[in-house]
Amino acid sequence: MMSRAVLASFLLLAARVAGAQDCVVPDGMKKAQKLPCVRAATALLEQPTLTLEQLVNGPGFNPQDPASSRFAWFSAEDTATCYFRPHYAFKGVKGQSLKFQCWQLTPTRAFYGRKGDSLEVGEVRIVLRKNSGGENRASIFPRADAGNEKEVRADRIKVKYLKPPHPGHNTRYNEVFTETAATRLLWALGFPADHSYTAGAAACVGCTADPFGDNLKDNTASVKGSPVTFRIVAVQRDAPFDEIDPEGDETWSWRDANGFHRTGQWTRQQKVAFDAYRLALALLTYHNANDVQNRLVCAEWKAGATDPEICARPMIMVQDLGSTFGKPRSFIFGAHSRGNFKNWQTQSVFAKPDRCELRHALDGEKQVLQEAQALMVARLQRLDRDWVKAVFRAAGFHLMDQEQLSRLRGAGAADVAEAALDEWTDVFMRRVAEIGSARNCRP
């Protein structure tokens, strides 16, 4: 019998090569041309070998040289200082979560380069240009550069914030906490995910108090100007992959992916990777089969292929994981809950564990493959209870659900924050056990 380690290696190798020659990415790529890339894609990466310190600090942290990587990750003690980038005011579909983009600044108000170097460029100005989909995209140039010849290629981050400020915030904006936990757990399990960190604050130069709600379209502030500070935020970077975004549309469709799965256009290895990904998402109670929250990316380009480019390792991923650790809205009333313990504990991975049928199948086959179950069981062995609790602590789950904290306080918990983390961790570990004990998965 094939061991789990050998099985995982085999799945990864096969997923990397299966059909990848079909993902052609020409200049001026059209939306209709991305379907072969979805057909060639996988949702599986190598599972990283992490220490607890790496898990807590997140992707971007370099344990061999922490100082050199310090600009790349954030903790609850950190304030991220940045220069506002107009973006969501130009998006056709911008969602509802409160967020803004900005270019990260050093303590001396220089810009960080994309590798953490300091860019001393002085004052800057915003220049808007249309992308291939016709939407404005903002870049920065030195204010003295009248001809727009030297774009400042600065490090860029996304910030999600709370309104009103914590702890009286609208629970709709609990994505500040849930997205950090969701992306951190997927990263640790070897699935593609953006990099998210729950930080102590973000100080934004050129922001209003509510840049998303104000539909802010410009930034004329001095780099040295006084910032607006947002308390308890999620600071995010895209995963280190190249987008495949024909006509400005980087999304992929659950309908297409499930169609390839169902009709046999995917290899067995791609099917197993996809079902394992759905199991991982089910651990978080991710239930939105909403294409706008997806991103198609390239993890590796074919050497020597330049006209057109060919992606040798296309990948599909969910780029918005905020709507997790809660439950779907009711049929008629309400909104999807996020970071609500009372709601989340009522959920489960499987609707029918004796038939291995997912509660939230994301518009696909309800029953998952045995090999996907085995793959997930093997990968989950690296996440014990203490490690899961550490993720929830780093994501601020001991601050998030005020209803839970009030209940624990009223019950006389000696340490309310620790009791809250224990409750979240206990439920997650029950979900892990669910995956291992499910019966009659598809052979």
pLDDT number for residue 8: 45
If you write DSSP's letter for every residue of 226-262 in order, what string do you get?
Answer: PPEEEEEEEEEE--SSEE--GGG-----HHHHHHHHH
pLDDT number for residue 132: 78
Residue 349: band (very low, low, confident or very high) from pLDDT cuts 50, 70, 90: very high
Residue 442 lies in a domain: no
pLDDT number for residue 334: 67
Its pTM stands at 0.93
Residue 443 lies in a domain: no
Residue 394 lies in a domain: yes
Parallel, antiparallel, or unpaired: how do β-strands 350-352 and 357-358 relate?
A: antiparallel
The amino acid present at 13, given as its one-letter code, is: L
> In the predicted model, is pLDDT for residue 171 greater than 60?
yes
What average pLDDT does the segment 332-350 reach? 90
In angstroms, the Cα distances linking 57 to 45, 158, 197 are: 20, 18, 8
Q: Which pLDDT tens digit goes with each residue over 245-298? A: 999 899 999 999 999 999 999 999 999 999 999 999 999 999 999 999 999 999
Kindly state the DSSP code that residue 165 receives in the 8-state scheme. Answer: P
Report the SS3 class of residue 70: helix
Nearest to 432 by CA among 371, 394, 378, 364: 378
What average pLDDT does the segment 376-397 reach? 98
Cβ contacts of residue 396 below 8 Å, gap of 6+?
Answer: 76, 176, 177, 180, 198, 232
Total domain count, the chain: 1
Residue 325 lies in a domain: yes
What average pLDDT does the segment 362-376 reach? 97
> In the predicted model, is pLDDT for residue 372 greater than 80?
yes
> In the predicted model, is pLDDT for residue 1 greater than 80?
no
pLDDT number for residue 333: 59
| Domain encompassing residue 188 | 4-437
Residue 86 lies in a domain: yes
The chain-wide mean pLDDT, for the chain, equals 93
User: Is residue 232 exposed (0-12), middle (13-18) or buried (19+ Cβ within 10 Å)?
Assistant: buried
pLDDT number for residue 43: 97
Q: Which pLDDT tens digit goes with each residue over 210-228? A: 999 999 999 999 999 999 9
d(CA 74, CA 413): 30
Residue 172 lies in a domain: yes
Residue 350 lies in a domain: yes
Residue 97 lies in a domain: yes
pLDDT number for residue 94: 86
What average pLDDT does the segment 62-73 reach? 91
pLDDT number for residue 10: 42
